[in-house]
Amino acid sequence: MKVQSRKRAFLFRAMALLAMAMTAAPAAESEKQFKVSATAPATNYKISISGVYQVKEEIWVISRVKQVGDFGGQALTTVSDTVKVNTSDLPAGKFKTLHKISGRAMKGGGSGRPDIRELQKRIAKMKSFAARARFTPQAHQEYLSKLSALEQQLEKLQAGEDEKNGVEYISKTGEAQLDKTLAKAKKIAFVRADKETTPVRPGKKR
């Protein structure tokens, strides 16, 4: 009787621990967010995610920075957009996310790094001053040399930051090749805040 009692007590404790573990286990997320950020040249620009695709074992988030309205402040502006997709539509294992951005985006601007933003502003001010100022030929050459050095420094910072964040800027000539790649890729439906699901439409790439 004592042996059976011990067995029942052990079984009861094991079942209780199992029930506690199942209760404490976090539920698998049913959705995953993808956010893109970039720097636009003025305040009347926005960025919109136009598509989410699976290309082999990578997820490509396609976005464009475009002007909205004719008037805007001439100031560097951070723009962003966020969408959600069902995790069941994503690769089962680990995958790499790449952001393909076209339009009027400034390289390296989506990181929010203060050194990049300050360097961008400094270069913009120097260009504005150069357009108004009157230099001697020698002073003008020296000024342009300093400006060129800053632009090279900015380009290196931007390239490193973009590579780290999986960001690629698509030129107008590169958009045709991108369309060819996306035509063969799996398009994934996504949801933007307060909007219905963007459906997958055969034949519509972007």
Q: Where are the domains positioned within the chain?
A: 31-198
67 forms beta bridges with 45
Say how many residues make up the chain: 206
Dihedral angle computed from the Cα positions of residues 130, 136, 138 and 142, in that order, rounded to the nearest 10 degrees: -20
Q: Which two tokens stand for residue 203?
A: 């034949």
Full pLDDT tens readout for the chain, 206 residues:
555 566 565 555 656 555 554 444 444 578 999 999 888 888 899 999 999 999 999 999 999 999 998 887 777 788 899 999 999 999 988 899 999 999 988 776 555 567 777 888 898 899 999 989 999 999 999 999 999 998 888 888 877 777 778 888 898 899 999 999 999 999 999 998 655 444 444 444 44
Find out whether 206 and 183 touch, Cβ atoms under 8 Å: no
> What's the CA gap between 144 and 154, in Å, rounded?
15
Strand partners, 47: 65
Residue 107 one-letter amino acid: K
Claim: this prediction has a pTM higher than 0.85 = no
Cα angle 14-20-24, degrees, rounded to a multiple of 5: 145
